[in-house]
């Protein structure tokens, strides 16, 4: 009986660690995408593609990752990139892990001349 409780605790720690790691990867991807979206000099770089590439490199544990298209506020002062994914369960395909949604909002970079 004690072994079962100990095993459950170990699995909970592993699942929580997996959730934390996956959230950090999703946050990094959203930050990368938002930085590209906020940069007016980025040219033809697609923020969603940059975030998706980041997820592909670092999120091998992520299940069904997706990146929303960047959304600018009404005055075009900020831009938001949101990443959605699921954490893989330590119990395999029996249960889905928790869903992670990470929005990152950054100010849009603007060139301001010497006279303001």
Domain harbouring 93, CATH code: 3.30.1300
What's the token pair of residue 34?
């938002």
114 is a domain residue: no
116 is a domain residue: no
| Cβ–Cβ < 8 Å for 51, 28 | no
What's the token pair of residue 32?
């990368």
Q: What pLDDT digit, counting tens, does each position of 75-101 carry?
A: 778 899 999 998 888 777 667 778 899
pLDDT score at 108: 86
pLDDT beyond 80 at 112: no
Q: Would the pTM count as exceeding 0.75? A: yes
| Cβ–Cβ < 8 Å for 59, 80 | no
pLDDT score at 93: 65
What's the token pair of residue 30?
């959203």
pLDDT score at 10: 93
- Residue 75's domain comprises 2-107
pLDDT score at 55: 87
């Amino acid at each position: 009986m004690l072994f079962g409780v100990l095993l459950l605790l170990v699995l909970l720690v592993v699942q929580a660690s997996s959730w934390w790691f996956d959230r950090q990867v999703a946050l990094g991807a959203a930050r990368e995408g938002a930085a590209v979206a906020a940069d007016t000099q980025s040219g033809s770089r697609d923020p969603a593609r940059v975030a998706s590439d980041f997820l592909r490199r670092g999120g091998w544990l992520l299940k069904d990752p997706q990146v929303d298209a960047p959304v600018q506020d009404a005055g075009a002062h900020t831009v938001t990139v949101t990443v959605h994914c699921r954490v893989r369960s330590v119990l395999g395909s029996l249960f889905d892990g928790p869903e992670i949604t990470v929005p990152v909002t950054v100010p849009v970079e603007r060139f301001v001349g010497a006279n303001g």
